[in-house]
Amino acid sequence: MENHERTGAASIPDGRPRGSAAPPPLLEVRGLTKSFFGIPVLEDAHLTLYRSQVHGLVGENGAGKSTLMKVLAGVYQPDSGRVLLDGEEVSFSHPTKAHEAGLSSVFQEFNLLPDRTVAENIYLGREPRRGVLVNKALMNAKTAELLESLGITAIRPTAQVRTLTVAEQQVVEIAKAVSYDARIVSMDEPTAALAGAEVELLYQIVSRLRERGTAILYVSHRLRELFDLCDVITVLKDGRVVSTGPASELDDTRLVRLMVGRPISAFFPDKLPRTDSGADVPAIPILQLEGAGNGQLDGISFNVQPGEIVGLAGLQGSGRTELLHAIFGAAPFTRGTMKVEGREVLPKSPREGVRARMALITEDRKAEGLSLNQSILNNALTVIRSVFPRRAGAARTEIPGVFSSLEVVARDLDQEVQYLSGGNQQKVVLAKWLAIRPRLVLLDEPTRGIDVGAKVAVYRLMRKLAAEGKAILMVSSELPEVIGMSDRILVMRDGRLAGELPAGTSEEAVLQLGTGARTAPGGGT
Amino acid sequence: MKKRGSFIDRLSSTQIVYLVALLTLIVGAVLVSTIGRNFFSQGNISSVLTGTSVLGFIAIGQTLVILAGSLDLSVPYVASLASLIAAGVMANNPGNVLPGVLLTLAAAAIIGLANGLIVARLNVHGFIATLGMGLIISGYLATNFKGSSGQTPLSFRLIGATGLGPVPISTIIMLACAGLAMLLLHRTRMGHHLYAVGGDISVARTSGIRIDLPVITAHVICSLLAGMAGLLLASRLGVGSPTVGSQGGYDLLSIAAVVLGGTLLAGGKGTITGTLGGVLIFAMLDNIMSVMQINPFLKDVVRGVVIVVAVAVYARRRIVNRPERFSSKGSAEAPAAQAAPVEGP
């Protein structure tokens, strides 16, 4: 167990600045609980923010960071618990209520109108007026002043947001949050979309805000940033605060251990013996990549053997999804070579990818995987009908068998997929791809948003496909899943492969490689 | 993140519209001169401008509605109804001009309010809401009016017939309305919020904007301007007509003019200036082809080609690429490849 100021029910979490007269807290969160559909996302969370303090909030995906932020922003209402601002209890029924109280948030997804100017975006809904008319000169001047106070001079208030770089848009987003006279600014992964030099800009803004007395809640996966910026770090795990205390008392290894600290459950099925004939022969890799790259990826080289499940880990935005899309032809490689079963193939469209017998199970099944208002049968036959129409008839007769082996729960094949549960929808997506008898299966977050039973069904299917000699490449943000299912784990960082880890590695090792906390692949602690 | 692009790529859509308008003007002038006529004669200029006014009124309103993320298909029927109310109330009595105008505009505003409420409060898409409203009005007109009806007095008819030099009064009124619409869009909160609601409704909501107000306002103004168009038609014809709006095809033509003017059909981006350019292009095309005595069916072919080409050009320009992490050819020089988290003390 860690000694880093473990917080129990008895002690109030503290990151109180040391000194003779400790200032009163600006914001206190006590016993906050929030559930979605009966599943607790936050349980008894507490947090204390002080003026001029940067408070880091870390945790794995699903730990409850974003939910906590959204409660503070007035986007979600907590089920129970109290939020105290300057010692007085507050509750925000609408985002504007939070703004009025001096609490602003910068979310991951941009909340800007790309076709409007910087000033119009920042003062949207609060445009300064002279009489009934909007005082544009004043609005632009105030915007320039605001940006300057953050140390930004390169952004013109009259520039269209669309013409700005991602980093500049992020700055505008932060400026908008600050412009509500915010005393507390919370930022959700503000550097997720930023590259090296641009992160410096953000550091600069954060330190300016701190000088002004603003309290900052800083959510990030990048450990280096947390140690560079934060005074206090709170670690969330499975919706609970597991630790809070001065950043100076932590290091990478301890922080990662606090974030993970849970046994990998035994719900991953064991590997199955190979059932295909080619198991004993030294096989040609199903996928071979050599120096492949495009605008988002660079220097990607690896192989996937028949019967192998390769996990693809990395942070949000590290290029994992882009890699699957490049292999499949949806966003093709522009350089390097790619071989499928020894033959050089470079698919330029998803159609060519399917012709090379690849399947891509996308991350967002509702938007990219299914036609929600069509029947199960039509969805299951979409790919085969469009790419191999002559085999559609045969595939049609196999559908009932496939569905019963996947344990799809549905009224009948004519039911519209929108009425199925997430897990059953995902099984329909899988069935649609299995119909083409793929050699290489690309899975992007295959178990996102589905229940445990369906998860296990997906895992079993993966094992079965591997046993049949198929190659599987799986992207997942759930570390236990990557570790529990993969024969090998490739970790990506900033569009490149950061390293490879063996089966059964630790979550710490994956995180360290993905965040760059340690550059050499290490076996764990 | 602007890439070096061709000349066209660097122009704003409004600039492209006026470039096309200029091109139309030059080609038209040359063509017209080949048959020994002068495109720039006072009479012809006046005739082109006259052609802009009815469509102009409707297209200005349509711009507001489209910017707010809706659509108005009821405009031709509102114009027909307006012409009938005006001609009916005025009944050739000069003393009734003012009540006639006010009553007409009031009726138009009520229809616009109904459209706006259906769209904003009942969440029916503008396409369907106003299609339904258009059908209702059209059915009412067809059952109650068998042909033209009422009469407008001479004093009112003069509005459609006189001008300052070559510029018709009706065009001046239309341009004044355009000016007011621009003032609304660019200098009032309502205008800013209209762009925001059409651009991204969730951004508008989280910025604390009342999202139904801009939509309702846009619909009311659009119907009012369709009513103005109806008044102008009544002034020109001298009578009210139940089919004058639908014969003009103002619903689709106004949408075409708005889109030709560079406004996004999905809303949130566009200008009145662009729309006026679109209207001008259509008016010049019409004029040139009637002077040249071209088969009227060919007119629609030309209009169609212009719309499709213009929108295809905009669509090409609108493809915004995600900024690239690595240059797409070489691999080594990758600009931002070195990861942020690796650096640091």
**Confidence tier at B332 by pLDDT (50, 70, 90):** very low
Cβ proximity of B227 and B79 under 8 Å: yes
Average pLDDT over residues B106-110: 97
What is residue B319's predicted lDDT score, i.e. its pLDDT? 53
Which residues of chain A does B344 touch, with a Cβ-Cβ cutoff of 8 Å? 224, 227-228
Which residues from B are below 8 Å from A202, CB to CB? none
Instruction: Say if the Cβ atoms of A125 and B208 lie within 8 Å.
Output: yes
Instruction: Compute the average pLDDT of residues B99-111.
Output: 97
Structure confidence by residue, pLDDT tens digits, A308-360: 999 999 887 789 999 999 999 999 999 999 999 999 999 999 999 999 999 99
Task: State mean pLDDT over B99-128.
Answer: 96
Exposure string of B212-239, with b = 16+ CB inside 10 Å and e = fewer, is ebbbbbbbbbbbbbbbbbbbbbbbbbbb
Q: Does residue B4 have a pLDDT over 70?
A: no
Please answer yes or no on whether B336 and A519 come within 8 Å at the CB atom: no
Q: What is the mean pLDDT of residues A63-75?
A: 86
pLDDT score recorded for residue A195: 63
Assess whether pLDDT exceeds 90 at residue B208: no
Confidence of residue A514 (pLDDT cuts 50, 70, 90): confident
CA distance B127 to chain A (A): 22
Residue A294 with chain B: CB contacts under 8 Å: 326, 328
Q: What is the ipTM of this complex?
A: 0.81
pLDDT digits (tens, 9 = 90+) for A82-93: 999 988 898 888
Residues in chain A: 525
Phi and psi torsions of A292, nearest 5° = -80, 150
Q: What are phi and psi of A329, to 5 degrees?
A: 100, 0
Coil vs helix vs strand at B163: strand
Q: What pLDDT score was predicted for residue B221?
A: 98
pLDDT at A13 over 80: no
Average pLDDT, chain A: 85
Band of pLDDT at residue A61, cut at 50, 70 and 90:
low
The answer to whether the CB atoms of B209 and A195 lie below 8 A apart is no
Chain A residue with Cα closest to B197: A113
With CB atoms and an 8 Å threshold, state whether A296 touches B326. Answer: yes
- Residues near A496 by Cβ (< 8 Å), separated by ≥ 6? A297, A298, A299, A300, A319, B337
- Lowest model confidence (mean pLDDT) among A135-149, A411-425, A505-519, B252-266: A505-519
Instruction: Work out the average pLDDT over A1-28.
Output: 55
Angle at B84 between CA B79 and CA B87, to 5 degrees: 120
Q: What is the mean pLDDT of residues A402-419?
A: 85
Q: How far is B223 from B108, CA to CA, in rounded Å? A: 5
- Count, residues in chain B: 345
With beta carbons under 8 A apart, name residues in chain A contacting B3. Answer: none
- Residue by residue, DSSP assigns A99-117 as HHTTEEEE-SS----TTSB
Of B2, B186, B196, the CB nearest to A113: B196
- The residues facing A188 across adjacent strands are A219
Cβ within 8 Å, pair A225-B341: yes
Q: Using one digit for the tens of pLDDT, what is the confidence trace for A180-190?
A: 888 999 998 88
Alpha-carbon gap, residue A52 to A183, rounded angstroms: 9
Tell me the pLDDT band of B1, cut-offs 50, 70 and 90. Answer: very low
Tens of pLDDT along A346-399?
Answer: 999 999 999 999 999 998 888 888 988 899 999 999 999 988 888 888 888 888
Q: What is the pLDDT, as a whole number, of residue A402?
A: 86
Distance (Å, whole) CA A500 – CA A491: 6
Q: Mean pLDDT across the stretch A206-233?
A: 89
CB proximity list for A480: less than 8 A, separation 6 or greater: A264, A265, A507
Instruction: Give A292 to chain B, closest Cα distance, Å.
Output: 9
Percent of chain B as helix, strand, coil, to the nearest 5: 70, 0, 25
- What percentage of chain A carries pLDDT values higher than 90? 42
Q: From the list B320, B323, B331, which residue is nearest A162 (CB)?
A: B320
Please report, as a single letter, which amino acid is at residue A12.
I
Q: What is the DSSP letter of A282?
A: P
Residues of chain B contacting residue A116, judged by C-beta atoms under 8 Å apart:
192, 195-196, 199
Judging contacts by C-beta atoms under 8 Å, the chain B residues touching residue A194 are: 340
Handedness of CA B241, B247, B249, B251 (dihedral sign): positive
Task: Report the distance separating Cα A463 and Cα A441, nearest Å.
Answer: 12
A403 vs B64: which has the higher pLDDT? B64
A279: confidence class by pLDDT, cuts 50, 70, 90: low
* CB-CB neighbours of A161 under 10 Å: 21
**Smallest CA–CA distance from A115 into chain B, residue:** B269
The rounded distance, in Å, linking the Cα atoms of A451 and B222 is: 50
- How would you classify the pairing of strands A27-36 and A39-49? antiparallel
Chain A residues whose CB is inside 8 A of the B199 CB are: 113-116
Cβ pair A295:B324 closer than 8 A? yes
pLDDT score, position A63: 78
